[in-house]
Amino acid sequence: MAAEARRKIVAGNWKMNKTVPEALALVRELRGMVSMLRDKVEIVIAPPFVALHPVAKAIEDSNLKLAAQNCHWEASGAFTGEVSAPMLKELGCAYVIVGHSERRQFFGETDETVNKRSQAVLKAGMLPIICVGETLAERESGRTLEVVERQVKGALAGFGAGDVAKFVLAYEPVWAIGTGRTATSAQAQEVHAAIRSQLSRLYDGGTAGQVRIQYGGSVKADNAAELLGQADVDGALVGGASLKAGDFAAIAKAGA
């Protein structure tokens, strides 16, 4: 599938921000701002767990889709404090973010658990947004592609081409997250092209051309168009700028 056939996907990862009333205020504002983009770009928001249910109600009949920020790999059981994929599906989530670098850094996420969570997400009838990305030390030692390819391979182990084609990958260089230091469009394109080339070696047919690869890391209204204009950049995973309706709507428009 040619690049122009991949529909861009812009997602807001709210991380640990917004109480329920704040979340509702944000989506009520956002809904109207992006309604005209309905057929042009896929728009996803990922509020914290506690806000998912009220937000799901508040975005009914809109062109906003819902994502969770993580899930456990088991469907139910004695896992205090965890949330399962079937629970998220039942609330109306279409996607689950898996393997975010903050979870890898602070919560012991590994390539293996990213893979297990992704399997649970797919089994529950949702799709994973799988995050990969190198640290500054890894980039500076010339290991960016090696690290990212290892993470992609680990996350996708055991999945068939038909499933992978529907997945979303997010390249998020750790040094660009929350730092205001975004990757240049050339740096992003280089890694995105390398991931797509890896996918074409791993899977037959058109799979590599169908997988959407988002860029994440200090995406703002004023750099989104340049990043999203790259041949292999199929969307954005937005942190800080997704917490303001106007900023996030402007980034979504850049993807349209």
List residues with catalytic annotation: 100, 172
Report 42-101 residues binding ligand 13P (CB under 6 A): 100
Q: Contacting ligand 13P (CB under 6 A), which of 238, 251, 252, 254?
A: 238
Q: Cβ closer to ligand 13P: 13 or 70? A: 13
Q: Contacting ligand 13P (CB under 6 A), which of 32, 125, 160, 178?
A: 178
The closest of 206, 251, 242, 254 to 27, measured between CA atoms, is 242
Q: Contacting ligand 13P (CB under 6 A), which of 237, 245, 250, 252?
A: 237
Q: Cβ closer to ligand 13P: 73 or 175? A: 175
Residue 223 assigned to a binding site? no
Question: In whole angstroms, how close is the CB of 223 to ligand 13P at the nearest point?
Answer: 11
Q: Cα separation of 198 and 218, whole Å?
A: 25
x-marked contacts with ligand 13P along 125-164 as a string, rule CB under 6 A = ----------------------------------------
Q: Cβ closer to ligand 13P: 156 or 224? A: 224
Q: Cβ closer to ligand 13P: 69 or 207? A: 69
Is 239 one of the binding residues for ligand 13P (CB under 6 A)?
Answer: yes
Question: In whole angstroms, how close is the CB of 188 to ligand 13P at the nearest point?
Answer: 13
Is 255 one of the binding residues for ligand 13P (CB under 6 A)?
Answer: no
Question: DSSP string spanning the chain?
Answer: --GGGSPPEEEEE--S---HHHHHHHHHHHHHHHGGGTTT-EEEEE--HHHHHHHHHHTTTSSEEEEES--BSSSSSS-TT--BHHHHHHHTEEEEEE--HHHHHHS---HHHHHHHHHHHHHTT-EEEEEE---HHHHHTT-HHHHHHHHHHHHHTT--HHHHTT-EEEE--GGGTTSS-PPPHHHHHHHHHHHHHHHHHHS-TTHHHH-EEEEESS--TTTHHHHHTSTT--EEEESGGGGSHHHHHHHHHHT-
Question: In whole angstroms, how close is the CB of 216 to ligand 13P at the nearest point?
Answer: 4
Residue 17 assigned to a binding site? no
Please identify, among the stretches 2-10, 152-160, 198-206, 233-241, the one whose residues bind ligand 13P according to the rule CB under 6 A: 233-241
Q: Cβ closer to ligand 13P: 156 or 238? A: 238
Residue 112, sorted as left (phi over 0), alpha (psi -120 to 50) or beta, turns out to be: alpha
